Amino acid sequence: MDPLDDVALLQIAILQQGLIEDPSVASRGERRQYGHYATLMEELRVEDPQSFFNYLRMKSAMFDD
C-alpha cells in the first residue's frame, strides 16, 4: 500500500470521528437543531411519549441530560 493511501485513510478515520471540522459539513449545533434525527426524536417525544420511552428506554428528561 502506498504511504499516501495510509495518510488518506487516517484522514478519513479522523473526519469520521469528528475530530476535525469539515467546513463543507453543517456544524454540529445545526445538525442537532435541523437534522433528521433531532427532528424525529422531538416529534416522537411530543406526540407519543410512551413510544419515545419504549424506543430509548428512558424518560425525556434523562435523554436531555
Residue 5 pLDDT class (50, 70, 90 cuts) = confident
Which of these ranges, 18-27, 33-42, 55-64, has the smallest mean pLDDT?
A: 18-27
Same domain, 17 and 41: no
Q: At a CB cut-off of 8 Å and minimum separation 6, what does 1 contact? A: none
**What integer pLDDT is reported at residue 21 of this predicted model?**
55
Residues 48 and 65 occupy one common structural domain:
yes
| Type of residue at 5 | D
Residue 4: predicted pLDDT? 61
- Is 22 in the same domain as 39? no
Q: Report how many domains make up the chain.
A: 2
pTM of the model: 0.48
Residues 16 and 39 in one domain: no
C-alpha dist (Å) from residue 38 to 4, 24, 26, 43, 50? 37, 20, 14, 9, 18
Which structural domain range is residue 16 located in? 1-26
Question: Measured between alpha carbons, how far is 42 from 49 in angstroms, rounded to an integer?
Answer: 10
Q: Are residues 42 and 18 in the same domain?
A: no
Region 39-58: mean pLDDT is 87
Q: Are residues 22 and 44 part of one domain?
A: no
Higher pLDDT, 25 or 45: 45
